[in-house]
Copies of this chain bind each other. A is one copy, B any other.
Amino acid sequence: MTRFILLPGLVLSLVAPTAGAQTAVTGATALHNLMPVPATVSIEAGGLPIDSRFSVAFSGYKDARLEAAAKRMVERIARQTGIPILPKSGIAVLTVKCGKAAGRVQQVIEDESYSLKVTASGATLTAPTSYGVLRGFATFVQLIEPSPAGFVATAATIEDRPRFPWRGLMIDAGRHWQPIEVIKRNLDAMAAVKLNVFHWHLSEDQGFRVESKLYPKLQELGSDGLYYTQAQVREIVRYAADRGIRVVPEFDVPGHTGAWLVGYPHLASGPGPYEIQRRWGVFDPVLDPTNEQVYVVLERLFGEMAALFPDAFFHIGGDEVNGKQWAANKKIQAFMKRRGFKTDGDLHAYFNKRLNTILKKHHKIMVGWDEILHPDLPKDIVVQSWRGQKALADAARAGYRGILSNGYYLDYMWSTERHYLVDPVGKDAEALSDQQKARILGGEATMWSEWTTPEMIDSRTWPRTAAIAERYWSPATVRDVEDMYRRLDVVSRRLDFTGVLHRTAYRPMLERMTGGRPADALEGIVNLVEPVREYNRGRGLKQTQQSPLTRVIDAARPESEQARVFARLVDGLLADPAKKANRPAIERSLREWQDDAAAVQPLLDGFLLLEAKPIVERVSGLSALALRALQAIDQGTALKLSPEDTSLLAEAAKPMAEVHLMIVPPIRKIVDAAAGR
């Protein structure tokens, strides 16, 4: 495989600065590996040694939840450092002063602030509420670094509080089933980067994923047996609450209800029968807003679910109703005419108003996607914007509270940088008044699961979500992309110790492709590609929920670290008049890719690798071309490009096997420079 290239700049700042060096920074980057960056942080000399006697003491308020959180933090430190820390055997080195208990149910706005002071002789974490303690624990773990004498918590003074109160991750368990292990380990990773809302997308055309005792055919006929029992839901809600994370359930209505209608076809706007949908897209089946029976079912079902999910918010989806069943149903058309509804939107708003009344009865605040926004809806609903920042700004201007998800679609396979620079109150929202801005509660990264199974969901979610979490927590001024990547590199490796498999699941997926043979060279190649973006996957392919997701595109990470680092090396080379900078590292990479391409050849007959053939050929060809280009630069001669060279560059720039070969742009730069273009 291709060795990750160590840039001198990347090596910096992993150990506490030497004595005397003191950097006070406010909401900006400093020599630490904290993510999200705290509101204010001052990194100081030295650190607090961490050894097997480490323990936590509470000097203020404490309760079972806080003690459990302290125990989890100690276990996490033990895993991360490998130091066996025995329960109860320690001396207190971290003192926690908590002001008061958290309420029974976590509210959308809680005081999550904390102060953390770490010196060579001890650490003190002070917070007005339990939530601040939880956030401070997450920071304390991130301060632990190897020092020459062993692990230490870097000495620091931190005052911290979140920028936005709603910092979420949505996981779609409808399209591809995600068992509770997946949810649990992702909750642990969320807590590590201070996210506080788990939005659980629980029903889809492709599956209804929660046990209903009142309407059991929902899960019995609508889930292939793949659903959460009510006991499991309670377990997850408790697990999340322990970590200071709210659980907002989503039952998407009236569209995306194909799986509901298998068991209860009489609720549909069109004639059945219905089957669980196996394909991806927007489908016709939709609940009938003119059928009183629909409201009876929703009132009872939402009542059942409202009791399972203590959070004050309840997400009713509301997106992507294509209106076909409504248009084709004379009874519905007559109803609309009778009521004077001009558009499907009016009918949808009527439905949502009825729903809102139902939710109010169950003491829930309605949340829905952009489409629920309609002047008829009261101002206390919350809009989650997937369509764009303008929609969110308009909603805030109109008096609604909102959450931004546009720009945070993890399934779009964007780079971390691209997600990172999206600001919940950026773009159209910048012009809002402060009062209007305050209506934007925060954001949510969304992990839609058309192309995501339990095996690789973590690699789609992490580490990118850590950078998004920083956007939601840290001051708006924290936008240094290079420093973000520097810290993310470390944070990503340490997320291993929370239990997420974003790094470890890669190798077994590659070894499946090789039929159990060594996959090092294959890894070297797959390291260089990224999946096609947005909705460019699966076009023209007959893929369904049952299609194995075991291809190169499924193993490939959303962002190629190797290509990103290589591109920076090339920029360095070309910016250098003598063209010597980074030259050895660039040449070594190119030679390794050639070797990898050669070594992977005998494996390409495996059915899972057949489609990788052109990728491998182009890696080989491009590496050779770039080496020639380097030689030409060395010799000061102009590189002559053959028609084959030109065609190779053009072909390699197109997606192959639905992945992009990410070394093409930097190699093109070398070639252009060498050819004097």
Q: Which residues of A contact B (CB under 8 A)?
A: 1, 3-4, 6, 10-11, 14-15, 33, 52, 79-84, 86-89, 145-150, 224-226, 453, 455, 489-491, 493-494, 496-497, 503-504, 507-509, 511-513, 515-518, 520-521, 524, 545-550, 554, 588, 595-596, 599, 602, 605-608
Contacts and interface: CB of A to CB of B under 8 A. Distances in A.
A82 B548 contact: yes
A315 B3 CA distance: 49
A9 B52 CA distance: 48
Q: List 9 A-B pairs, minimum CB-CB distance, nearest first.
A: A82-B550, A490-B516, A4-B518, A504-B504, A3-B520, A146-B515, A52-B546, A496-B508, A493-B516
Contact of A607 (B146, B225, B521): B146
A542 to B, nearest CB: 14
A86 B278 CA distance: 12
Nearest to A588: B595
Nearest to A565: B518
B515 A490 contact: yes
Which of A4, A455, A521 has the most C-beta atoms of chain B within 10 angstroms of its own C-beta? A4
Given A6-B602, A146-B608, A81 B548 contact: yes
Contacts of A6: 517-518, 521, 599, 602
B546 A84 contact: yes
A516 B503 contact: no
Given A1-B3, A3-B595, A595-B588, A83 B548 contact: yes
Contacts of A545: 84
Contacts of A606: 146
A4 B80 contact: no
A472 to B, nearest CB: 23
Contacts of A494: 516
A515 B81 contact: no
A517 B84 contact: no
A3 B521 contact: yes
Contact of A516 (B489, B548, B607): B489
Given A3-B599, A599-B3, A550 B14 contact: no
A520 B589 CA distance: 13
Contacts of A515: 14-15, 145-146, 490
Contacts of A87: 224-226
A58 B224 CA distance: 21
15 contacts: A3-B518, A3-B595, A3-B599, A14-B516, A15-B515, A79-B455, A80-B512, A82-B548, A84-B546, A86-B224, A87-B226, A148-B607, A493-B516, A494-B516, A497-B508
Contacts of A52: 546, 548
Chain A, interface SS category: loop
Given A1-B1, A80-B512, A87-B224, 18 more contacts: A3-B599, A6-B599, A11-B517, A11-B602, A33-B516, A82-B453, A82-B455, A82-B549, A83-B548, A86-B225, A87-B226, A89-B224, A146-B608, A148-B605, A148-B607, A149-B607, A493-B511, A496-B511
Contacts of A518: 3-4, 6, 489
Given A6-B517, A548-B84, A605-B148, A503 B507 contact: yes
A358 to B, nearest CB: 33
Contacts of A146: 513, 515, 606-608
B548 A512 contact: no
Contacts of A512: 80-82
Contacts of A516: 14, 33, 489-491, 493-494
A517 B82 contact: no
A387 to B, nearest CB: 31
A242 to B, nearest CB: 19
Contacts of A1: 1, 3, 520
Quick one: which of A10, A515, A605 has the most chain B CB within 10 A? Answer: A515
A662 B281 CA distance: 55
Contacts of A84: 453, 545-548
A14 B516 CA distance: 8
A585 B3 CA distance: 18
A33 to B, nearest CB: 7
Contacts of A455: 79, 82
A82 B88 CA distance: 43
Of A52, A493, A606, which is in contact with the most chain B CB atoms at under 10 Å from its CB? Answer: A493
Given A6-B518, A494-B516, A225 B508 contact: no
A520 B224 contact: no
A508 B521 contact: no
A518 B489 CA distance: 8
Contacts of A147: 607
Nearest to A606: B146
A602 B225 CA distance: 53
A184 B226 CA distance: 23
A193 to B, nearest CB: 15
Nearest to A516: B490
A497 B332 CA distance: 52
A486 to B, nearest CB: 10
A65 to B, nearest CB: 20
Nearest to A150: B607
Contacts of A80: 512
Given A87-B224, A517-B489, A509 B11 contact: no
A493 B511 CA distance: 7
Given A1-B1, A82-B548, A508-B496, A225 B599 contact: no
Contacts of A224: 86-89
Contacts of A3: 1, 518, 520-521, 524, 595-596, 599
Contacts of A88: 224-225
A496 B550 CA distance: 16
